[in-house]
Amino acid sequence: MFTHQIFGRGNQSAFILFDGTREEFEKGINVLDFIVPEDRDRARQNILRILNGEKIGEDEYTAQRRDGSTVQIAIHASLIIKGNKPAGLRGILIDITERKKIEEQLKALSLYDSLTGLYNRTYFKHEMQRCERICPGPLSIIVCDVDGLKLVNDTLGHDRGDALLLAVAGVLKQSLREGDTVARIGGDEFAALLPNCNSSSVEKTCERIRKSVEGYNAAHPELPLSISTGAATSDASRIRDLYREADNNMYREKLHQSKSARSAIVQTLMNALKERDFITEGHADRLQDLVVGLGKLIGLPEHKITDLRLFAQFYDIGKVGIPDRILFKPGPLTSEEFKEMQRHTEIGHRIAQSAPDLAPIADWILKHHEWWDGRGYPLGSKGKEIPLECRILAIADAYDAMTSNRPYRRAMPHERAIMEIKRCAGSQFDPQLVLSFLQIFNIFSIPVSI
């Protein structure tokens, strides 16, 4: 209970809350002693308002305990009347510390992007409206888009894509001035508001962004970052028109560099494939010899032979998106691991579609694990529904896999591998191509494994 002298007595919960002693609370304390100085005048005024008959409902304060820690409290107070005269206050104190934490978390979710920590689209729109009302000088807007993010997400996974988004956030924070507002406004889109920034200054900012991207790529050559940017400046335009102009400028730049950005990403993946040379050293070279030999034997034209060489080099490019723990596991895969491994055909298909050099073989990359009898993946195609190039590679790849060492088994002799190829003719392999394959070692002097 609080009296008009602002002294009161509390129950056990109160002295636990404030870290006081039972004796103090039974004797009576000055409630304001526990309110932090910056809230104390407001608390005093509210108490006096209630004593004067005003109803103010719940009010919130920060209270300080004896050990120096603080708690957030809500006070519900009402006037005590005796003999038709105010005699004091009756109050309930509620510890709302956890509630306030939750409120702050919800506020942060409503204002900030959870991944990058930048402001989100909702906050950016409010800030645009505020700047339109109060910014006295020239206002500039920069809009940025991350090139190739979908390709990275689809091929390497969202963890790698998220890493790129975090890198963009770092680049923008590093390049912008204190007082500028930067936000992630979409999946791969960012925007910045630059008050009191003329066209010359915003161009310098865009140049800083470009330089920062170059620095990032020099430090992270394994996956390049590419950002398309557009900027606009105005003293008088409506801010929505200004944003639209910046957005249009960004898309113009994106048209010029999106293909090169995707190509750079694909080239990085291709380099990674070469460096890892999946499973066994020299596999790609041996495979090219086998598919070229078989292709020539059945009379394919030279341009098809060229495509076969490319196919043999990059048919497994989708494996850059498969975790190493599965790809290089020294033993048979579990059913779940095998399902994950099967994704490499679809990943490779997406990569090839994004690269002009690989686009002609994208369909083959998708279908290179189809079986003649329809029991392959991912589509279950069978017979001559499967591209000829895929049927050629299937035989050559199986032969080289069997005759090469693996971490969990030694290489098979040539004769045993040939027997296995024959056994699978008509089920896994095109039976006519198997007959042709048996001839290429003598005709083209291709070395055989001993």
- Per-residue pLDDT tens digits for 262-315: 777 877 777 777 666 554 557 888 899 999 999 999 999 999 999 999 999 889
pLDDT at 19: 64
pLDDT at 4: 41
As given in the structure block, the two tokens for residue 212 are: 């920062």
pLDDT at 22: 64
CATH class assigned to 7-101: alpha beta
For the chain, the structural domain boundaries read 7-101, 112-269, 277-443
**Strands (DSSP E) found in 13-138:** 29-30, 59-64, 70-82, 85-95
| DSSP reduced 3-state for 370 | coil
| DSSP per-residue string spanning 116-136 | T-SB-HHHHHHHHHHHHHH--
pLDDT at 265: 81
CA pair distance 364, 366, nearest whole angstrom: 5
Q: Which CATH number fits domain 112-269: 3.30.70.270, 3.40.50.1820, 3.40.190.10, 3.20.20.70?
A: 3.30.70.270
CB atoms within 10 A of CB 215: 12
Please provide the CATH number assigned to the domain covering 277-443.
1.10.3210.10
- Residue 79, Cβ density class (10 Å: 0-12 exposed, 13-18 middle, ≥19 buried): middle
pLDDT at 312: 93
Q: Residues of the chain whose pLDDT is less than 70?
A: 1-29, 108, 235-237, 274-281, 407-408, 444-450
Q: Are 130 and 177 in contact (CB under 8 A)?
A: no
Identify which of 176, 204, 193, 195 has the alpha carbon closest to the alpha carbon of residue 138. 195
Intra-chain end-to-end CA distance of the chain, in Å:
97
pLDDT in tens, 171-197: 999 999 999 999 999 999 999 999 999
Q: Are 197 and 233 in contact (CB under 8 A)?
A: yes
pLDDT at 3: 43
As given in the structure block, the two tokens for residue 202 are: 């915003």
- Residue 83, Cβ density class (10 Å: 0-12 exposed, 13-18 middle, ≥19 buried): exposed
**Start-end of H helices in 231-276:** 239-276
pLDDT at 5: 43
Q: What phi and psi, each to the nearest 5 degrees, are found at residue 426?
A: 90, -15
Instruction: Tell whether pTM > 0.85.
Output: no
pLDDT at 450: 40
